[in-house]
Amino acid sequence: MRILILGDVVGRPGRRAIRQLVPALVKDEAIDLVIANAENASGGMGVDIKSAEELFSAGAHVLTSGNHIWKKKEIYPYLGKQPRLLRPANYPDGAPGQGWVEWQGEAGKRALVINVQGRVFMPHHVDDPFRCVDGILRARGDHAPVVVVDMHAEATSEKNAMGWFLDGRASVVYGTHTHVQTADERILPRGTAYITDLGMCGPLDSVIGIEKDLVVEGFLTQLPRAFEVAQENVVVQGVVVDVDDASGRAREIRRVRVPWQRPDR
């Protein structure tokens, strides 16, 4: 199975880039499963129904998220209706939606996709992501040998620890949240493909997707201000992973960084 996994989608520029670039990537790379993190797809903070539907229409099969999933109240009931939009599984019982999905595609392709959130330097008090993933694998691991885990976290150490914790039990473990693509992609000894952060689908001429002057001014003044999504130098970032369907072991992981040109230029 070949999997395209895309970093945090930031606002309209990120959505437009995915809509225009992903179909060609799917064709050129013979992709079976497309996963994207959508927690910042609407205005750079949160995801609404329209943004989620746009990403699904662009070719995403599964959307993961993180702590910003709760920013748009309209998404709460949608999470219960659309199982392919995940929220972190380690939120307390009673939170809308679920943090895993048993995906099934064409030609019998199957995968278990899991989304968890880290606890180090993160704003919400969530349950232990390590024990949470372990429980899901024990309960759902027989769905398919192919297991994909989005570890949405701030600390690189926590993401790295999750990779080692799941080495040999997951096909792919990757980090999201920081919007900066790391260069440490590799296959761990027991066959798990790993990268600390996928990066983002959004504008590089920014501070993690937001207009740079606004962010710099905020650091200088320490005053609150409204952020705006930047528009320049938009890229699609992520990885392509090749996984053996029978064993679930990764054979290759390769970073993706594709520039997008606005149509008015």
- Cβ–Cβ < 8 Å for 195, 185: yes
* C-alpha to C-alpha distance for 245 and 46, rounded to whole angstroms: 33
29 three-class SS = helix
The first and second tokens of residue 96, run together, are 């809308």
pTM exceeding 0.85: yes
Residue 17 neighbours by CB under 8 Å, 6+ apart: 201, 202, 234, 235, 236, 260
- Domains of the chain are 2-201+232-260 (3.60.21.10)
* C-alpha to C-alpha distance for 12 and 17, rounded to whole angstroms: 8
The first and second tokens of residue 62, run together, are 């599964």
Give me the residue label for tokens 């520039």. 259
- Cβ–Cβ < 8 Å for 14, 38: no
Per-residue pLDDT in tens (0 to 9) along the chain, 265 residues: 999 999 999 999 999 999 999 999 999 999 999 999 999 999 999 999 999 999 999 999 999 999 999 999 999 999 999 999 999 999 999 999 999 999 999 889 999 999 999 999 998 789 999 999 999 999 999 999 999 999 999 999 999 999 999 999 999 999 999 999 999 999 999 999 999 999 999 999 999 999 999 999 999 999 988 889 999 999 999 999 999 999 999 999 999 999 998 776 5
Q: Is 67 exposed, middle or buried (0-12, 13-18, 19+ CB in 10 A)?
A: buried
Count Cβ atoms below 10 Å from residue 232 Cβ, excluding itself: 12
Supply φ then ψ for residue 129, to 5 degrees: -65, -30
* C-alpha to C-alpha distance for 40 and 43, rounded to whole angstroms: 7
* C-alpha to C-alpha distance for 56 and 34, rounded to whole angstroms: 10
What element of type H or E holds 24?
helix 11-29
Question: Using alpha carbons only, what angle is made at residue 174 by residues 161 and 21, rounded to the nearest 5 degrees?
Answer: 165
**Which are the catalytic amino acids?**
68
